[in-house]
Each structure stands twice: as structure tokens, then as C-alpha cells.
Amino acid sequence: MSRVEGQVAIITGASNGIGAASAIALAREGFQVALGARRAEKLSEVAAQILAETGKRPFVMELDVRQEEQVNSFVAAVIEAHGRLDLLLNNAGLAKGVAHVIDEEEASNWDQMIDTNVKGLLMMTRACVPHMVQGGNGHVINIGSIAGREAYAGGAVYCATKFAVRAITDALRQELLGLPVRVTTVDPGLVNTEFSMVRLEDQQRADAVYAGMTPLVAEDVADCVAFAATRPKHVNIDAIIVKPTDQAGAGKVARR
């Protein structure tokens, strides 16, 4: 039997990309997975794939991590369904636009990034960790970014949110010291998902982000999540930075 068989994992932003791939990877490892995101139909497709492959029916519920009531009722419903919680993958997140700070005419993109990537992650963490402490086992895995280690023009607010994720990860690990809850950040470089389409709202510009190079795919990041999640309980993977071989930093990409 696998080390994590029967343990329960919540994955936010599980309807697509890294979240969907990680949910599948965690389910393959033996976790009972609970999937949250705003697009219920896409969640159902991911759930169907997991059910077909593992024989386990995932918990599925619509979730906007910016809405505190939804966050709390999602976590309560998972606890009601499964009676325990062992892992939270804080993956839901996005970048909106590449405008320079002085050119951004209104604050709605800033609000959406900060509310999702930072406040949503905080509210999910606050709702989940007490159940982990109570159950004697827990792990919070945050999806950060290399944008949380290196800022770039056009990314002031997105980078700020990912710097914040790293600060929260490190502070949380100290706050939970002595309790049976591990804290990890997985920080990817370029991954070919819907991320660039959501950010740029233009398919040609989104495709250009990955042109002439080989980006990561969501499954590459899911491998890192699954590795961190399946270490023995006394092993805390603090951080994994994972980039394409064709990338040496933000904006430092080899294209052919």
C-alpha cells in the first residue's frame, strides 16, 4: 500500500493546467482528491478521468478562492464527506496583463491577481490547516513561480503576488514548527497551459511565449508536487524550482 493511501487532498484551480495534472498525479499516488475551481464543467471532466483511472470518485465543488464564504463551505464539505484533510495544494492563480505600473488605467487586474494569488491562498490555508493539526497530519503545497524570485517589467503585480506566496510559505513553516504540518513551495518557470491565454487574451501572443523553445508541461510540475507530497512524514521539501532546460530565468529563454 502506498504511504499516502486514503489520505485526503484539496486541489484549488483543479479545472485545468497544473492543478488538473497535479490532481491526477496525487490520485494515482493514492490520495482521495477534492477538486475546486470556478468552471464546474471542466472539474467534472478531470474528475471523470480520475474515476476511470483509479476507481475513486473525486469530491467536486465549484470554488472561487476570492470568496471567503465559498472557501469555508468548500473545506467544511470536504471534511463532512471524508472526515479528514491531509494536503492542500494552493494552485489557483493567474496573471492578468503585462501593462507597466504607470500605464495601468484601473486597478481591476491588480485586484484580481492579489485577491486570487495571495488572499485566496491565505483564506484556503486558514480554513484547512486546523483540520490537519486536529488530524495529526498535514501538508500545504503552494504553487509559486520563478516570478516570485525575480521581478520583470510588465509583471510588477504578478511578481509581487508570487514574492508574497514565498513569504507566506516561509512564515507559515515557522508558525507551524512543532506541529505535524509540512509546508512546501513549487516554483515553476514557463509551463504551457492556459496561463498565457488568460494573461494576454490573444492566442497568437500566448503562443509566442512558448515559440521556438520547449516549455514545461503541466505534468512536469505535477511530478514535483507528487514527489513533495509522498516523502515520509519527517521530510519537508521546502522548495522546488523547476524550469525548462531552455530557460535560465525570467526572460532568459533560448529560442531556435
- Please give the residues from 134 up to 153 whose contact with ligand NDP meets the rule CB under 6 A: 143, 145
CA distances from 81 to 43, 218, 225 (A): 18, 28, 24
- Is 210 annotated in the active site? no
Choice from 155, 163, 168, 193 touching ligand 8X3 (CB under 6 A) = 155
Q: Work out whether strand 247-249 and strand 252-253 pair parallel, antiparallel, or are unpaired.
A: antiparallel
Query: Which residues, including other chains, have CB under 8 Å from residue 119's CB and lie 6 or more apart?
Result: 66
Q: Which is nearer to ligand 8X3, 70 or 145 (CB)?
A: 145
Amino acid at 202: D
By CB under 6 A, residue 250 contacts ligand 8X3: yes
Angle subtended at Cα 226 by Cα 225 and Cα 229, rounded to the nearest 5 degrees:
85
- Please give the residues from 8 up to 47 whose contact with ligand NDP meets the rule CB under 6 A: 12-13, 15-19, 37-39, 42
Which of ligand 8X3, ligand NDP, none has residue 250 at its interface (CB below 5 to 8 Å by kind)?
A: ligand 8X3
Q: Are 159 and 110 in contact (CB under 8 A)?
A: no
68 burial (CB, 10 Å; 0-12 / 13-18 / 19+) is middle
By CB under 6 A, residue 146 contacts ligand 8X3: yes
**Binding piece for ligand NDP, criterion CB under 6 A, among 44-52, 80-88, 185-193, 225-233:** 185-193
Which of ligand NDP, ligand 8X3, none has residue 116 at its interface (CB below 5 to 8 Å by kind)?
A: ligand NDP
Q: Are 147 and 108 in contact (CB under 8 A)?
A: no
Among 31, 59, 110, 158, the one annotated catalytic? 158
By CB under 6 A, residue 145 contacts ligand 8X3: yes
Backbone angles phi, psi at 218, to 5 degrees: -55, -35
By CB under 6 A, residue 43 contacts ligand 8X3: no
Choice from 94, 206, 217, 237 touching ligand NDP (CB under 6 A) = 94
CA–CA separation, 85 and 43 (whole Å) = 20
CA distances from 50 to 56, 68, 95, 160, 237 (A): 7, 28, 28, 34, 26
By CB under 6 A, residue 244 contacts ligand NDP: no
Which of ligand NDP, ligand 8X3, none has residue 142 at its interface (CB below 5 to 8 Å by kind)?
A: none
CA–CA separation, 62 and 220 (whole Å) = 26
Q: Which is nearer to ligand NDP, 13 or 137 (CB)?
A: 13
* Cell 494573461, located at residue: 199
Q: How far is the CB of 126 from ligand NDP (least distance, A)?
A: 16
Which of ligand 8X3, ligand NDP, none has residue 7 at its interface (CB below 5 to 8 Å by kind)?
A: none
Q: How far is the CB of 114 from ligand 8X3 (least distance, A)?
A: 15
Residues forming the active site: 158
